[in-house]
Chain A
Amino acid sequence: MVFVKQCVNIYMQGDLRSDQGSSSADAHPAAPPPIMAQPSEEFQPLDRRVVRLWRITRTISSTVLLIIASVILTGVSAGFPGLAFLLPYAIGALFVLLVFSVIWYPPRAYRAWGYRIDSKVIEARYGVIFHSTHLLPLNRLQHVDIHRGPLDRAHGLSSLLLHTAGSQAATLVIPGLDQGEAKRLRDHLVEIGGDDAV
């Protein structure tokens, strides 16, 4: 148990979440000049209902995946009779993994998600195992889409798609926003951003 705690500690250290987590060992000639203060806005979480939404979508995709994988594995094991005894274990392991991803993953992903908008930049962070932070200058916005799938609608949620003219990271998707909030955000972003569309 101690070992697990240590692992968790290591896991959490030097995390995108803790901006102060500096490392004195990585001495630099000099830090870049401090032109700006820390952003004033706090990170906003997504709508709490998104956890349930993600659980449902993950259950659906996991079930499909499990069925396909079982069919393939059964087919393969027919070709290798010596290894056929492994089949239930393989499917069982996959099942456990998928259950884990349905139960454990969505709350983590929810906690990992955060976004903040000040007058100039929108900053979004996300990712449970691979952390990412995406910073998007608001006047680079080309257009903003609201996307609502059937499950989104059932939960009263929307996704916001922020498009820039970039190439590899051209679109930032903020999922799981309350539909009213998404509209408000969209109007706000369209109003302050986008003065230099292509």
Chain B
Amino acid sequence: MPFEPEPPRLPPLNAPDVPPVIGAVPPPLPPDSDAKRLHPMTLFFAGWGVVRGWLIPIVIFLFVGRYELLTFLAFMAGLQIVFSVVRYFTFTYRIAGAELITREGLIQRHERNIPLDRVQDIKIEQGVLHRMLKMAVVQVETAGGKGAEATLSVLSQPDAEQLRRLIFERRAIVRGKGAETTEPQPEQPAEIIRKLELKDLVMAGLTSNRMASVIVLLGAVWAFADDVLGEKAYIRMQQAIEQWFAQLATYDLQTTIFLFIFGAIGIILFSMIISVIGSVVLFHGFTLVRHGEDLQRSYGLLTRRTASLPRRRIQVLQIQEGILRRLFGLAAVRADTAGSPAGDGQQSGHDSLLPIIPKDELGTLMPVFFPNFDNEQPDWRRVSRVAIRRGTLKGSLLLLTLSAILSFFYGQASLWALIFLPAVYLINVLNYRHLGYSLGAEYFQTRRGWLKRSTHVVPIRNIQSVVLHQNPFDRRHRVATLIVDTAGQTYTGGGPRISNVAMKDAVHLARLLSQQASQRRLQW
């Protein structure tokens, strides 16, 4: 059952009333809340975590018959449970003044103060079990730092939502500028920007390139089989495969080719099914909602995730079109905030602002992400034509090396690979035509790629620095690589970077960008 953004409720009794903000004088902060413990269910989830973590090893050891290791496992599990219990009874959190304070530790007391105006994002995550028990995990993120600054696991669902509301409301007061409050105010209506239907997600799965992940999965299963099944079974399996291949060799060529094609199609179909399932499970019921300045995403079939992103915190936006998606006119939108932690984006879906969207709808959506986005067609400028020559040279060298290696092993017939040389040139010409940058009034954009395309949009006010690089070859061709640096570029593939810009233009552009950035105030 999709988790709709709840209609605003009356604030619970223990939630301090937030007075309306009038004029420039910041109102006094509501009284501090008492230190609170996590929900007692934390203990249950800790126990469940231990069971889940050790279940597979225990079963395996029982199966293999290595009982002596079981005592060791039991000891480790017991230790873990003791730690969790101690943590539950010592962990408290409270909001005092303009800070969220967490405290934990029995012997070594550890206190962490998180200034509320530094909070970038509050994520609420619910696994299947959490949802059954109406519990949630809250993650508070600030700019910088790896991962969440505070993880509250677990709170009851109403508590989690209340905490988020409280933090956002207070943050607005702390900032002082009540007029442009950024956070979901109870009276602000939620505007649903986009809902993804099942067919969108199926399409997303079908067009995502997950072939590689299937192969990795198979490899992992194979390695696992090797570890677990023991020598005998492994050898038996290997023999079976060898036999199968031997049998294959006895067939005539036609049958072999047929079998191979059949197998390849089978693998592709299987990978498609896996990626469709992956996409549906991760993004089921995806809803993007706007509460004032806040973009809220909630999604997930098994684990339900809610993440809110104040839109002015978007540092870089990337529109990504893979080969298949480009064929169908589809794109995915990713966004980075200053707090995006490295690593978890892909599997939690936090990197996606919109996992799939028809390209032609983006025109109407961009002003939602960037309120002052100049919606006129960007004036794309091209880089130096040298790019074609250099790209072709690089591609040809690669092709030559490859065909040389092939012909070394398989004889001179392999030189047929060289017929692709014109294709290398053609691809470089097409890539060149699709490579460009555009400097608008408030946004700098770059795009690259013909088969698959990636477009970066950077608000100029978010530019941290501009760097030009020239290697000796660049100098010879009088071109440079331009890099635009912003805070947080983990989800958007390293931010905008454009090579082979004619030196004169590059210097001019870099100065222009840095000057314009210096005239704008960066807002977090």
Contact = CB atoms under 8 A, between A and B. Distances in A.
B517 A167 contact: no
A25 B384 CA distance: 9
A16 B477 CA distance: 12
A13 B475 contact: yes
A10 B474 CA distance: 11
Contact of A32 (B384, B495, B505, B518): B505
Interface of A: 10-11, 13-16, 19, 21-23, 25-26, 28-32, 34-36, 39, 120-121, 123, 127, 129-140, 164-170, 172, 195-196, 198
B382 A28 contact: yes
Contact of B521 (A31, A35, A129, A196): A196
B468 A132 contact: yes
Nearest to B468: A133
A138 B472 CA distance: 30
15 contacts: A13-B478, A14-B503, A29-B382, A30-B381, A31-B505, A121-B515, A133-B468, A137-B518, A139-B518, A139-B522, A165-B143, A165-B144, A165-B464, A198-B118, A198-B524
Contact of B494 (A134, A168, A198): A168
A166 B496 CA distance: 13
Instruction: With a 10 A CB-CB cut-off, give which of B490, B512, B518 has the most chain A CB atoms.
Output: B518
Interface string B124-159: 000000000000000000011000000000000000
Contacts of A134: 465-468
B347 to A, nearest CB: 21
A23 B502 CA distance: 8
Contacts of B483: 168-169
Nearest to B387: A26
A118 to B, nearest CB: 9
Contact of A36 (B439, B477, B502, B511): B511
Given A23-B384, A136-B465, A195-B521, A28 B502 contact: yes
A11 B487 CA distance: 35
B489 interface: yes
Given A11-B476, A166-B486, 9 more contacts: A11-B475, A13-B475, A16-B475, A22-B504, A23-B504, A137-B514, A140-B522, A167-B464, A170-B464
Interface string B470-494: 1110011111100101111110001
Contact of A10 (B476, B490, B509): B476
B338 interface: yes
Contacts of A120: 514-515, 518-519
B429 interface: no
A16 B468 contact: yes
A168 B489 contact: yes
A133 B467 contact: yes
Contacts of A198: 118, 143-144, 338, 487, 524
Interface string B426-460: 00000000000001000000000000000000000
A137 B512 contact: no
A26 B518 contact: no
B464 A140 contact: yes
B518 A167 contact: no
B463 A14 contact: no
B507 interface: yes
B386 interface: yes
Contact of A167 (B466, B486, B502, B523): B486
B478 A168 contact: no
B465 A137 contact: yes
Interface residues of B, number: 56
Given A32-B509, A131-B470, A167-B487, A14 B478 contact: yes
B521 A26 contact: no
Contacts of B514: 120-121, 123, 135-137
Contacts of A130: 469-472
Contacts of B510: 133, 135
Output the residue of A129, A130, A134, A165 with the most chain B CB within 10 A: A165
B369 to A, nearest CB: 20
Contacts of B515: 35-36, 120-121, 137
Contact of B504 (A21, A168, A196): A21
**Which one of A26, A132, A195 has the highest number of Cβ atoms from chain B below 10 Å of its Cβ?**
A26
Nearest to A125: B468
B9 interface: no
B103 interface: no
A119 to B, nearest CB: 9
Contacts of B509: 32
B385 interface: yes
A167 B381 contact: no
A104 B471 CA distance: 19
Contacts of B472: 11, 129-130
A16 B470 contact: yes
A191 to B, nearest CB: 15
Contacts of A132: 467-470
Contact of B511 (A135, A140, A195): A135
Contacts of A23: 384, 478, 502-504
B505 A164 contact: no
B524 to A, nearest CB: 6
Contacts of A35: 512, 515-516
B508 interface: yes
Contacts of A196: 521-524
Contact of A169 (B386, B467, B490, B521): B467
A191 B382 CA distance: 39
A35 B508 CA distance: 10
A162 to B, nearest CB: 9
A166 B512 contact: no
A14 B465 contact: no
Contacts of B517: 137, 140
B475 A26 contact: no
A170 B464 CA distance: 8
Contacts of B338: 165, 198
